Amino acid sequence: MISDAQHASAQIAEIEAVRRAVRQSNFYRLASVIVILWGVVTAVGNLASHAWPRSAGSIWIGLDIIGVLATSALGLNMRGRGYPRAFDWRTPVAFALFFGFGLLWSVGLGRFGPRELSVFWSTLFMFGYAVAGLWLGAAFVVLGVGVAGLVTLDYFFAGPWFDIYLALFNGGGLVAAGLWMRRA
């Protein structure tokens, strides 16, 4: 026979599990907007780089600034919706670390051609998504590993259509993952 205290404890544990699942689902729904945003930014950047290869550096700097500002605005919105850690001092520091590391290698230490540079930046950020997924949820791990895999295949097999396929698989992959996260 189950005592009232055991029954109440089991009910409280069940309520807590449902609360955590709803909170995770809400987080995914909000975070998916950021993932979709970066998917669109990435696809536009890849297509513009294909159309105007000599201006690719300036295009990406402008798009990255737009993406960071939009991400910051969305993060502040998430914070206002009860996710106090969605945007705090670590967010700009994380952006600075990723961009700083990427610039160190792409401008300073690495000897990348345009293709290698595109793959480097794509896989660098997908690595970030995968690592963040260890804390934020499996959807981010799947997103990071899946898109990095598609980008790597693109590097080896896309030929002259590299930037077009990168827009499809990297940018489109982020958009698709963001839409999938909305259902998680």
| Segment 6-47, tens digit of pLDDT | 777 777 778 777 777 666 666 777 778 888 999 999 999 999
Q: How many helices (H) and strands (E) does the chain have?
A: 7, 0
Rounded to two decimals, what is the model's pTM? 0.75
pLDDT of residue 59: 94
Mean pLDDT per 10-residue interval, the chain, length 184 residues:
71 76 70 88 94 91 91 76 65 82 86 88 89 82 90 91 91 86 73
Q: Which residues contact 175 (CB under 8 A, 6 or more apart)?
A: 35, 36, 39, 40, 43
pLDDT of residue 155: 92
